[in-house]
Amino acid sequence: MTGPTTRENPFDPPAELSATPPLSRLRFADGSLGWLVTDHATARFVLSDDRFSARMDLIRSPIRTTEPAQVPGAFLFMDPPEHTGYRRLLTAQFTLRRMRALEPRIAELATRLLDELTRPADLVRGFALPLPSLVICELLGVPYAAHERFERASHALVDPALPEPERDAAGEDLFGLLAEVVAEKRRSPGDDLLSGLLELSDDEVMGVGVMLLFAGHETTANMLGLGTFALLRHPAQLALLRANPDLIDGAVEELLRHLSIVQYEVNRAALVDVEVAGQVIAKGDPVLVSIPLANRDPSRFPDPAALDITRNTSGHLAFGHGVHQCLGQQLARIELRIGFSALLSRFPGLRLAVPPEDVPLRTGRGIYGVDALPVTW
């Protein structure tokens, strides 16, 4: 498997996976055999069962022939109990109260960015990318002057078209940036998330920081860009949302389910032999869970290919499931709710400035989205 990317519709999962059984064998980039999970129930089972590990030394990547070394603090690639300590510490920083306290600032930033747009505009560069970048920089206490550096490095880190040495160098650059920031926090702590983690070692704070910088900007930026594109290509749903702004929460959840931008799946490995869907996944076998396909499972979501902002999306897996479920999901929801609401209310006549087939898609990266979204109003 090298990462299927052929999409008949830009908002649907890759066509190569459309007829894949719920549990099937696949070959990874390094030549090893593993498994692919594509249905909702099996995905939830694998993601919540402690017989499956997220450890970096056990999982396999669909786009790398070698696996990077385990990074201190990168709890996304740890199992309990090691994972539990980091998760507990970060949960205290990502309280819903703290996230809601950010709402006025996020709304202020969104308004400022929209004020600065001139038509025609690239909504990715002018809005979808800088909004979460500004927010995560402020939350972590990273100077926004460094945002271009971390955006450039994070893009390279998930671009499978680049040689692995270049992706590794991008990772090193991100750690170099965080090393500078952490050193400054040691000298002068502030009221920010990284300062709240200084009980950890420098390497651990950097590992956590890189993960949060990447997750807090790359994913939300792509959801804002691709989500706007999807709404513009579904005029009935866009009109319904404009007429009923109170539907924004449901619209955000449906866009998360419908688009499921984590393109290259979620990695796990079996710690023991496990029977799944009538087959035995042997100890050591790597497993990929396809979030886009699980969120399009017709047994869980009727007419799953339809975008329906009034749909009951309960149980969607856009933020994962189990102990590794996305820690920053409430922040992401707030940013998306404020971002879409501000954009649609500010520009009632928002429309694409190019034919839809000319919108460049990010098919070659681990996080799916649009590279640019030319719009006018």
For residue 180, give the CATH number of its domain.
1.10.630.10
Residue 65 pLDDT > 50, yes or no?
A: yes
Sole residue written with tokens 């970096």: 56
Portion of the chain with pLDDT greater than 90, in percent: 62
pLDDT of residue 63: 63
Q: Residue 113: inside a domain, yes or no?
A: yes
Residue pair 84/322 in contact by the 8 Å Cβ criterion: no
Quote the domain boundaries for residue 325.
Answer: 15-348
- AA identity, residue 209: G
Q: Residue 112, Cβ neighbours under 10 Å: how many?
A: 12
Q: Residue 309: inside a domain, yes or no?
A: yes
Q: Residue 28: inside a domain, yes or no?
A: yes
| CA dihedral sign of residues 338, 258, 222, 117 | negative
| pLDDT tens sequence across 198-257 | 999 999 998 888 888 777 788 999 999 999 999 999 999 999 999 999 999 999 999 999
Radius of gyration of the chain (CA): 20
Q: Residue 364: inside a domain, yes or no?
A: no
Predicted model pTM:
0.91
Lowest model confidence (mean pLDDT) among 81-90, 176-185, 304-313, 358-367: 358-367
CA 40 – CA 22 distance, rounded (Å):
9
Portion of the chain with pLDDT greater than 70, in percent: 94
Pick from 97, 86, 300, 286: nearest CA to 196:
86
Q: Residue 177: inside a domain, yes or no?
A: yes
Which residue has better confidence, 57 or 111? 111
Question: If you write DSSP's letter for every residue of 141-155 in order, what string do you get?
Answer: T--GGGHHHHHHHHH
pLDDT of residue 66: 60
Q: Residue 7: inside a domain, yes or no?
A: no
Number of structural domains, the chain?
1
Residue 344 pLDDT > 80, yes or no?
A: yes
Q: Residue 47: inside a domain, yes or no?
A: yes
Q: How is residue 136 written in tokens?
A: 């995560």
Residue pair 353/372 in contact by the 8 Å Cβ criterion: no
Residues 6+ apart with CB under 8 A from 325: 319
Q: Say which DSSP state 191 is in.
A: S
Find residue 233's DSSP bridge partners: none
Residue 154 pLDDT > 80, yes or no?
A: no
CA 305 – CA 372 distance, rounded (Å):
24
Residue 294 pLDDT > 80, yes or no?
A: yes
Which residue has better confidence, 124 or 32? 124
Pick from 286, 289, 219: nearest CA to 259:
219
Beta pairing class for 33-37 and 286-289: parallel
Q: Residue 252: inside a domain, yes or no?
A: yes
